[in-house]
Amino acid sequence: MLKPRYFLLVALILFIALLTSGMEGKANFPREIVDDFGYKVIINKKPERIVSLSPANTEIVFAIGAGDKVVGVTEYCDFPPQVKKIDRVGGFTTPNIEAIVDKNPDLVVASYGNGEGNIKRLKELGITVLCLYPKSVGDILKDIKLVGEATGFEKEAEDLVKDLERRINLIREKVSKIPEKKNPRVLYLVWYPELWTAGKGTFANDLIEMAGGKNIAFDVQGWKIISKEVVIDRDPEVIFCSGMGKNSVILKNKILKDPDLKKTSALISGRVYTITSDIVERPGPRVVDGLEKMEKSLSSFFKTVR
């Protein structure tokens, strides 16, 4: 027969285990991390009141499960849907410092677009600010982990990144089977009649290449206007028309009616596709949705050249 002392010991061990597991998220605060601007950020306790100053940052915070901690977002934060119920604290480039302070945040997740002066002012007011500045898809994945570390949602962030990496690797595996020199020439457009396109240093360019395409604006840095003459000369085989809501469809219809662009292989073969700008140009978890969308659109071209 087991002695009562044994049961007391087992009960004590179980109690300690439950207590420590419940305290795990709090026990490793305060912590010091380095953000994308190279600033050392000291976070004294697990954040309970978070303000996000960009749509991408808001998506990251919600994607790792910390959405219920968010008390303020910018006017352009619109995903996930429940964000619409959260109070606004100004615009992306024009954050309202007073409104942010009124929210009494213990963490502000900022972005390069918020302005150095605004970020500096928030810090002067004693607010903890984490600045994100991703420049590639790889940077986005790193930032998801960074936000997880800052908010105490490390495991959730790690799990999310692993799933995103799994999906990316599936695309890479498919793309690796494309015959050499058979990558389709791609044009990514966001405006008409001025043909605004994405060149090097943009997420759109990253996704085009990862999806197996070759950006015809390979010699363009950032966002620039490309002439019709150059487009016709480089003859895109696939065109993506990007925009928010119905704007991508409107853009596509304008492209299809352009008498000069009708000479391109993309229009001749009917490979002109719409894509939502948010899943391409917004540096958050949904860029992988954009990658999958692009790869799916390009896959019909791959089949014809194999």
What tens digit of pLDDT does each residue of 208-247 get?
A: 999 999 999 999 999 999 999 999 999 999 999 999 989 9
Domains of the chain listed by start with CATH number: 27-162 (3.40.50.1980), 177-305 (3.40.50.1980)
Instruction: Please tell me the distance from the alpha carbon of residue 158 to that of residue 154, in angstroms, as a whole number.
Output: 6
In sign, the C-alpha dihedral spanning 114, 120, 125, 130 is positive
Instruction: Please tell me the distance from the alpha carbon of residue 58 to that of residue 63, in angstroms, as a whole number.
Output: 8
Query: What confidence tens digit (pLDDT) does each residue in 142-171 have?
Result: 999 999 999 999 999 999 999 999 999 999
Distance (Å) of CA 291 to CA 105, 162, 163, 221, 285: 34, 16, 14, 21, 11
- Do residues 217 and 224 lie in contact, with contact meaning Cβ atoms separated by under 8 Å? yes
Instruction: Please tell me the distance from the alpha carbon of residue 89 to that of residue 229, in angstroms, as a whole number.
Output: 44
Q: Give ∠ CA 15-20-21 in degrees, rounded to 5.
A: 100
- Across the chain, mean pLDDT equals 92
- Do residues 122 and 47 lie in contact, with contact meaning Cβ atoms separated by under 8 Å? no
For range 2-15, the mean pLDDT: 54
Instruction: Please tell me the distance from the alpha carbon of residue 90 to that of residue 120, in angstroms, as a whole number.
Output: 17
Q: Give the model's pLDDT for residue 178.
A: 84
* N-term to C-term CA, the chain: 75
3-class DSSP state for residue 17? helix
Predicted confidence (pLDDT) at residue 9 exceeds the cutoff of 80: no
Predicted confidence (pLDDT) at residue 90 exceeds the cutoff of 50: yes
For range 125-141, the mean pLDDT: 97
Residue 196 is encoded by which pair of tokens?
């605004």
pLDDT grade for 300, boundaries at 50, 70 and 90: confident
Written as one letter, the residue type at 140 is: I
For range 279-303, the mean pLDDT: 93
pLDDT grade for 4, boundaries at 50, 70 and 90: low
